Chains A and B, each alone.
Chain A
């Protein structure tokens, strides 16, 4: 019999009191009522741990780095034991053939009952040769592991959208997971990296209810990605009032006014940074005086400067934006209209006599 989460936690010296605290915190993080606390506790006590294969493609490991910093002191211990993390080449002790053999073992033993968590994405150019794991292209490992998986978690912007390696011109053709694996349920947890508590909460939800939390049309869990940073930003009153930082370190910056004019992408970014925050709820980019760069949004590397409000448009061969394109067009149309007016007036003056 596989041991339950609770068994694992007790074995690691976690008290029942701490365990219940974790369940309570998780319930509130998921937006559930107090009645769900015992249900979470019961699930943790009775359910066998779900095996997880944590694959690493083209990535920077920032998702793992974030994940292991999950704020509650218990969370990192719990979560690392909560899921039966069978394979994670960054964290596991074994290496080489031993490590790769675990993937085969898990697939055989838990066919259709394990979860594949993907950090990073597969590059498809040159048959995937730009990312080799265990002597084979990563895309093959991903396809192989996903074939019998119950579901897939796309960790971070790499797996969800492509992120920096898929930014223009994307030389390796790095491709987000849902465009390679099309026949499995996929939950996207974008962000570069995603917030630690968001990651642990998603895992907890899947374990507790044995299904995905409610997803939006883009496959992101609604409970964390249904509102923009801007909607819950503590600097929002300054936006509504029309009080903006105009330059870095001006008086407005010292007063903590809205960073909209400094290119803050909060108004177009769906994430939970302004509510959950980072590093045990210590702070988040805007709180530290820098605008949001929109790291959980599709193609955020290709939307021009992080410090411009209007997106740079490169299609014209020169750097431009909507206003420059528009004003140029309006200027040309205006000038053409004025010229046409002048010619019309001259023509009319010339033919004035003809009409009678």
Chain B
């Protein structure tokens, strides 16, 4: 993808993730954690509280946190789309997996073999490996878009029929699913898709950091991709 990859065979490090992108990643991590936790407890609330209703506002705070984190996630994604245009080539990888490239699918297959312990060695990439690109795009990006759309549809129910949230989202999303309860169920199910994604994402990031040929975790902190050998960098598209 990027031109540097062909220049040198002994590149010490490549600056992959620019600061706004790294910031987005960690804000997302925090927002999604908050959203999943508060969301779970909105659907299955804590044991009932004693005393006067005026003494407590537990569900209110939970829902407020959920809605605020939801706004952060949504605004973050809008910013991320902007950054896909303004940032470097790696900033576009999440949005545009090269699905029509044979080399890309060859890379996916190699990664599957690497994770199945068949291949002895993974390939070397500056950005995401092809399998990661695929799962980031379809499991993460589309799940998050789904959650933002259904989330605003549910939020719009509270803000009322003349709010922009209702007109932009609830008005078409709710009839599309049948009724509000169905939207709740799907919103809930896709939360679990994201939970599964996070389990794998964290595990794979740590595993790749240890076992692959390039740095992983520190890259999302510093932005620099370090390589452990001097062989050629693989690319995922012709």
Residue numbers of A with Cβ under 8 A of B are 216-218, 222, 226-228, 231, 237-246, 252, 257, 260-261, 265, 267-270, 294, 297-300, 303, 309-311, 313, 321-323, 325-327, 329-330, 333-334, 337, 340-341, 343-344, 347-348, 351
Contact = CB atoms under 8 A, between A and B. Distances in A.
Given A238-B53, A242-B58, A337-B200, A322 B160 contact: no
A325 B196 CA distance: 12
Contacts of B60: 240-241
Interface string B174-189: 0100111110110011
A252 B53 CA distance: 12
A265 B181 contact: yes
B43 A309 contact: yes
Nearest to B171: A217
A323 B188 contact: yes
27 contacts: A222-B161, A227-B160, A240-B57, A241-B60, A242-B56, A242-B58, A243-B49, A244-B48, A268-B181, A269-B180, A294-B179, A294-B181, A299-B178, A303-B182, A309-B44, A311-B182, A321-B185, A323-B188, A325-B192, A333-B199, A333-B200, A337-B200, A337-B203, A340-B203, A341-B207, A343-B117, A348-B210
| Max chain B C-beta neighbours (<10 A), residue from A231, A243, A310, A343 | A243
Contacts of B180: 228, 267-270, 297
Nearest to B202: A337
Question: Size band of the B side of the interface?
Answer: 35 or more
A334 B207 CA distance: 15
Most A C-beta atoms less than 10 A away, residue of B120, B157, B180, B200: B180
Given A298-B179, A326-B195, A239 B59 contact: yes
B236 to A, nearest CB: 23
Nearest to B40: A323
B179 A326 contact: no
Question: What are the 7 closest A-B residue pairs judged by CB atoms, nearest first?
Answer: A326-B192, A242-B58, A268-B180, A322-B188, A241-B56, A241-B53, A268-B181
Which of A237, A297, A322 has the most chain B CB within a 10 Å cutoff? A322
Interface string B156-170: 011011000000000
A231 B115 CA distance: 50
A246 B48 CA distance: 7
Interface in B107-154: 115, 117, 120
A218 B44 CA distance: 30
B46 interface: yes
Nearest to A219: B175
Interface in B182-238: 182, 184-185, 188-189, 191-193, 195-196, 199-200, 203, 207, 210-211
B117 A327 contact: no
A322 B189 contact: yes
B86 to A, nearest CB: 35
Nearest to B58: A242
Given A237-B54, A340-B115, A243 B175 contact: no
A268 B185 CA distance: 11
Contact of B43 (A294, A300, A310, A347): A310
B179 A241 contact: no
A323 B44 contact: yes
Contacts of A334: 199
Nearest to A265: B181
Given A228-B157, A246-B48, A323-B44, A330 B53 contact: no
B181 A303 contact: yes
A237 to B, nearest CB: 4
A297 B179 contact: yes
A270 B160 CA distance: 11
Nearest to A261: B45
B172 A326 contact: no
A325 B190 CA distance: 11
A73 B65 CA distance: 48
B161 A226 contact: yes
B191 A326 contact: yes
Contacts of A322: 43, 185, 188-189, 192
Contacts of B40: 323
Given A322-B192, A341-B203, A218 B175 contact: yes
A237 B44 CA distance: 18
B182 A242 contact: no
B131 to A, nearest CB: 14
Contacts of A313: 185
Contacts of A244: 45, 48
B189 A326 contact: yes
Contact of B57 (A217, A241, A303, A347): A241
A310 B44 CA distance: 9
Contact of A243 (B56, B160, B172, B189): B56
B93 to A, nearest CB: 24
Nearest to B162: A226
Given A241-B60, A298-B179, A310-B188, 11 more contacts: A216-B171, A240-B59, A242-B45, A243-B49, A294-B179, A313-B185, A322-B43, A323-B43, A334-B199, A343-B117, A347-B117
